[in-house]
A and B are shown apart, each in its own frame.
Chain A
Amino acid sequence: MAAGPEIERLIQLLAKLPGLGPRSARRATLHLIKRREALMRPLATALEAAADTILACPVCGNLDTISPCAVCNDPGRDRSIICVVEDVADLWAIERSHSHRGLYHVLGGILSALDGIKPEDLSIDSLVARASAGDIVEVILAMNATVEGQTTAHYLTDRLAESGARVSRLAHGVPIGGELDYLDEGTLAAALRARRTV
């Protein structure tokens, strides 16, 4: 390739990002070079600052630049409810919904035989300790509706049984905008089982 080693290295690094292949990485690199002052330098500064300051919250596992994180520090949060999520991306997704004003707990993965992830690899002990502290009324298990996600949820339900907190999980069923004709039979069966009186 005609590009110098610095440009080639930039392309290689960008190509490692999710959603970017070598072709997209080349386009992104050219875009950055064309907007060196407006975009490339601020981006480099932001990346360096983030790399230096971002850390995992010692309480909930969320990513932030302060410790404990902004969610754990927020006095407006309902501190009697913990929502358990698989990773930070799920936490962000729930925050986007503006429907949960309690605290979080990031597990750092789910039980998986395929990936060799065992209970001791996840932050389950710290969750049990938080839920058993006394002021927690409810723990919401916001796991994926997959075999591994629900297996993890069942395991957590067992572990949290002694904590005294009520354990709930997300509903399974028809998504907003979903057409019954296109739903798989498992989702439909789950929706029928979870029907409620209107």
Chain B
Amino acid sequence: MTDRPGGPGERRAERGEGPTPTEFTAVGEQHADDVLGAYVLDALDAQEQDAVGRAIAASPELAAQEHRLRHAMDELVAAGADPVPADLWDRVVGATIDSPRPGPVSGPVGVPMGRTGWSRRPRLWLPAAAALLVLLVALATAVSVIAGGGTPVEQRLRAEATTARLRGAAAGTLVGRDGPVVEVVATRDGRVWLFADRLPRLRADRTYQLWALDDGDPRSMGVLGADPRATRVRAPVVGNRLALTVEPAGGSPQPTGPPVAQGRLA
């Protein structure tokens, strides 16, 4: 103990009280042991917390006790996990993109992580790439219309989509195994434009089909044909997740295979 014999700390100790926060420049092992539980709960004053932390760092025995108590609290916290809102990950991604990182952030250094199942989850760069693509689509649309590129139908659809986007329609990118393949613009009243420059042409007996995904079963939003380039469908968008499958010509009431591309509207 750092308290002098007969000092104020000792008198408080006799009453079952600890030192005041200003006396915690250092604490003895016995006092640190007394307040170890409060330390784990972060229930000490800041100075006291730091002082006990130093005492723990200097004592393997205290460190072992602290580890055991903290593990108990960790189990309590882990057992109280809440469902995570769907947009929280997007918020984290947005914040990390805005946050500069010190040092190099790209290029493999050391042993790369294994490409396990989790590596197929949506990637961090996707929202940024999607936003960029939406911008590029809008730009390309403007250039295309001005330059007269594409078929007249495609030009008209792109102009419609750009107008809808400017009026607040949702947009998104459906991403396939090799990257973005379809740009989508959708209005609340169920008008959906799709621009699919990078989808491979299918055999004549197959078709692409668009699905809206919510908590229930997939809902068909339309059959797009074997070689969709610029298309407009009329279908209510339920939720904000979309997927594209390959189906027999004419479409299917339910998907018969896994999605070849998927994405979210925002």
Partners in one complex: no
Contact residues of A with B, CB < 8 Å? Answer: none
